[in-house]
Copies of this chain bind each other. A is one copy, B any other.
Amino acid sequence: MPDDDGVSSALNMPLGPGGEFDLVRTMLARWGALAHGVGDDAAVLAVPEGERLVVSTDTSVEQVHFRREWLSAEEIGYRATMAALSDVAAMGATPLGFLVALSLPARWIPAVPALADGIGDAARLAETTILGGDVTQGEALGITVTVLGSSARPVPRNGARPGDRLFVTGVLGGPAAALRDLQGGRTPPGTLRERFARPRARLREARWLAAHGARAMIDVSDGLASELRHLATASNVALSLDVARVPVMPGCTLEDAISGGEEYEIVAALPGAIDPSAFVRAFGVSLSEIGIVDAAGIPSVTAYRTVREARVDLGTGHDHFRS
């Protein structure tokens, strides 16, 4: 039953008769070859030999994670899928495919083709496929995406050790600044809106970091400060963040960059020096060294600023991140 791409040859079997499958058919028609194995009780796939499976699930809900007036249906589908892919990126893994569970109010049914297009677009950019899913009625639009991936050496959150350098991909603050505009009824500048509406999971970038020795990684879904605390807690280490080196997107505040979520950039702890210019050449995305792992023992995150080459500690409280 295995075929070339590791997916069951029981591909895209005709779905049974019955009107309840019309929505699934609509989505499959939009996805074309991006959908694999849909139609059986479960999708079948192979995990590459010598690799471990990684799996994560992520839900986006209308009025909780987005509002319909802020985003097109296509962007809503895209964004929910990329958010889920980002968790697999954060493990340094390659996606094997994903499943989509849609909870769908009647008013959203006409938007299903656009939602499917956005989900398909994310699949295409991530070079992966849609393995299956479920469609149910619901009072609010809910999109639960479960991503499977594999890696010979998944990178956890808990591997940071004293002396490791801390890096972050990309520039931060765009989603928070865009969200402020949207919540205030203003139209955000295009570059900021793009960061909010069309995030990119850093899949290839994270694999590069893993290949260059990253021993702890996490994606910036809750905000840089929060993610550093998660990393410190999981690894049981004290971290220091140089706020002067946080890459702030033009048009955004330092606060946007440090506390804003839904960035889907990657924070990595590496034991040695790496050359950010090679990273930039490979991906057209910046890589910034933003801090260091100080000591093992008591999890903490301290903010500091380098002032005339001397470190000035700003403390560990959340407010200090905002100074």
Contacts and interface: CB of A to CB of B under 8 A. Distances in A.
Given A132-B55, A136-B64, A156-B13, A90 B42 contact: yes
A163 interface: no
Interface stretch (A144-152, A174-182, A238-246, A270-278): A144-152
A19 to B, nearest CB: 12
B41 A157 contact: yes
Contacts of A59: 101, 103, 134, 136, 144
A127 B131 CA distance: 25
Interface in A130-186: 131-134, 136-140, 142, 144, 146-149, 153-154, 156-158
A126 interface: no
B55 A93 contact: no
Interface in A1-29: 1-2, 8, 10, 13-18
A303 to B, nearest CB: 16
A64 B138 contact: yes
A52 B40 CA distance: 15
A114 interface: no
A54 interface: yes
A99 interface: yes
Nearest to A62: B139
A285 interface: no
A219 interface: yes
Contacts of A64: 136-138
Copies per complex of this chain:
2
Contacts of A10: 156-158
A222 B15 CA distance: 13
Interface in A177-235: 217-219, 222, 226, 229-230, 233-234
Given A14-B233, A42-B55, 14 more contacts: A1-B154, A10-B158, A40-B156, A41-B91, A41-B217, A44-B53, A45-B52, A46-B53, A57-B99, A57-B101, A59-B103, A59-B134, A136-B142, A138-B140
18 contacts: A1-B153, A14-B233, A17-B229, A18-B226, A18-B229, A41-B56, A42-B54, A43-B54, A44-B53, A44-B156, A55-B132, A56-B99, A58-B101, A59-B103, A59-B136, A101-B101, A101-B146, A103-B103
Interface of A: 1-2, 8, 10, 13-18, 39-47, 52-61, 63-65, 87-88, 90-91, 93, 96, 99-101, 103, 131-134, 136-140, 142, 144, 146-149, 153-154, 156-158, 217-219, 222, 226, 229-230, 233-234
